[in-house]
Structure 1
């Protein structure tokens, strides 16, 4: 026999009591209600996946594509066209009269010149002369001062940071003004001409803007700032010598007399 439903009168008696109980629970103070932070959670419980951040959401409501890892790029050559030309000029510098490089202490015959790199100036010897005299430019070092025998002489002040080595008993600096007095003077026509004279005319034309065979003029001070001659003698009183032309931190020409 199936159970019968409770009478309506019994339900009417139960409902008021149930409503009163719920009302009392709602009136409890907040401090009596357990907080979420006070509830102990099971550490073994699984965790839900993190929601996407606002930065990851696209304007259209979807997810943004993951940022691509930047690919390393090779740094472009510095200096543009001028830097490239400078590199080409440095590479072509190996064809000059001072193209040869030798280890420090190498004995060179008189009349030859070579580069010596990576040697501190204090090891080159004693500085005995400089050009110009009023400021540091080219400096002449004597490896064995006090002797008249031929020996290694070094010149510094070049763009590549390497010294230039020559062999001689005596070396002297000369300035462009003295050269012009000798070359363009009355006795200039009888003097022999060589590579140094031709190179000087080219340098003078670029700096002074004058025609060949003409003095530099007003631009002489600017020309003499970094242009010098070096005469190297194999012995004191010798009629033969080696002549060098230095300009703008380079050995421009060499000739033997």
Structure 2
């Protein structure tokens, strides 16, 4: 594997599969199996999970909830997803730890950077739940922040689409997918890779991002093996 340590960002929506709500256990099991295969090859893996399959703070705020309260509810949803993924990994005998930015010691460890890095060095998968512990920040920003903190070489964002497009492929049949982009191109074109704070964190710390389709079997392993999957966003300008 070309990467020693990586961070995988899983959207909450991806975890519900074809369902309209909640967790699709078959999807979780498939993801866990792919992660297990990657870890067996010697790659150290951390995971950040979203919570949009259960609750999304922005939607709660739009419905009249206080925005900070809605975001905290969303953080709790990410912990539920983290625990479900941990269970699936442990069933496959993959050592795993959940760390949360909001203390809940009965079900998970508190997020401690050095402890997380020690787990990774010992071959354990570390799943970060609870976002970054603060409202008004997305789990994309959490992924970029944790990647910088633990020294990850790349952020892999697994989604329902197969890369970054110049416009929404679900609405426009002539949407064009990019194979490679620079951070400057992403910011200049306001492309939907991650939110602006996450992009700025990765750009400032020289951490590349790879966006790919989670639902194509084997894509996690292919992406981490360095194969051209989805769209790669690099710190420097990349000639097309």
* TM-score relative to the length of structure 2: 0.26
Larger RCO, structures 1/2 (Cα 8 Å, 6+ apart): 2
* More helix as a share of residues: 2
> Radius of gyration: which is bigger?
1
